[in-house]
Structure 1
Amino acid sequence: MEIQEFQFKNLKFIFGLFAIFFLAALTVWFSVGISNQLKEGRYIGQEIEAQNVITVSGTGEIYAKPDLALVNFSVVTEKKTVAEAMTENTKKMNAIIEKMKEQGVE
């Protein structure tokens, strides 16, 4: 019975000691965190002094022949029947495509 009481008292002592160390560590951790936040707040709105910095800026232009063009167009034909309009539209469109190929557009 005495051994169990002794072990229980030791267990309570060890737990209490652990709790004290844990609370102390937690207090230090929060104190350091708050201190760091306050230090960071001092720099808000202030310029940082540049030391050992090289700044380079420049502009450039490049010229090249275009190698791609996007062309959108349409052909409209009105006839009495759909077949007639389609036939004439096809002829007009083929003529336009042929003219573009003659100009070197592929």
Structure 2
Amino acid sequence: MENRVSENSLLTREQVLALDIATHTGYFSLHEAGVWNFTESKRRNGNKMHGAFRTMLLAYMRRYGIRQVVAEDVAVNRHFYDMRRLSELRGILLEVCDELDLPEPEFVNPAT
């Protein structure tokens, strides 16, 4: 699939978003930085985290013209539930980049 943006156009620092994906997702760009809270509660009718994560990503990336995402990769550890949840959120990130016709995110090993 060909990107809407020419491959010859230079990526600027303003077009990069860095993420530490989790229930409390840390984010940084030259536009804003902080933490998005996707904590679920029973009062919110169960599992709304995935939709909220997707909606927030799309809105933020469209608002600031983000063309590249860099995110901490999912690390395998003893906590299966955490690993599964992070993998689900990673999948949503991949889908959002695909919808916006962006390259796949660059995933960074948390040990580096």
Q: Same fold (TM over 0.5)?
A: no
Larger RCO (alpha carbons 8 Å, 6+ apart)? 2
- Provide TM-score, normalisation by structure 2: 0.29
Q: Which has the higher strand share?
A: 2
**Higher helix residue share:** 1
Q: TM-score, normalised by structure 1?
A: 0.31
Structure number with greater Rg is 1
